[in-house]
Amino acid sequence: MSLNNYLKKGLQQSDDRTNHCISIGKDGEALFKELTGAIKSELEDDKKHIDFYWDGKCIDVKGLKPMHKHGFILLEFLNVWGYHGWCAKDSKADYIAFQFPDRFYVFKKDDLRQRVIDKCEKYSPDVVLRKNRVKPSQGLYKWIGRFGKQDVFTYLRIEDVQDLLIEEIKY
């Protein structure tokens, strides 16, 4: 299944919205590759949340999203089908690189995961707020999932994880 069909089917969004989301991801990945010389993963690894191999690290790159411009990051634990998300224990990514307006912030995935566990209430399906279009400021430290989907994610502020920063790649 192509990335376009995967997003369209899973999120049930318009072609324009799907193309916009793909563009954000692809643009961020292209810049990361240009800045670091990282090697792009194959499709099978991409499905396991590995976008690149860089200095022996398995990296998942998150493109520049509007929330990043306001100092927030989203951390996904279950995807729209209920399978492990990119910040889940079973994700094969070792590191997550978030694109911000002037740099990439690189973190160990397990450190981010632990910070969420420390900041949010204990997870159970009963505590997930099922609502679409929750603003990052309203979803801070809460378990959120979109209505009619099986995803689970939360928002943190970049300040919440600054002490976990492994690398900063300025551009």
Q: What is the pLDDT of residue 12?
A: 59
DSSP for residue 123: P
Predicted confidence (pLDDT) per residue in 90-134, tens digit: 999 999 999 999 999 999 999 999 999 999 999 999 999 999 999
Q: What is the mean pLDDT of residues 163-167?
A: 98
- Packing angle, helices 3-11 and 15-36, rounded to 10: 130
pLDDT of 8 above 90: no
Q: What is the mean pLDDT of residues 25-31?
A: 95
Contacts of 145 (CB under 8 A, 6+ apart): 78, 128, 129, 130, 151, 152, 153
Prediction pTM value: 0.90
Residue 87: pLDDT band with limits 50, 70, 90? very high
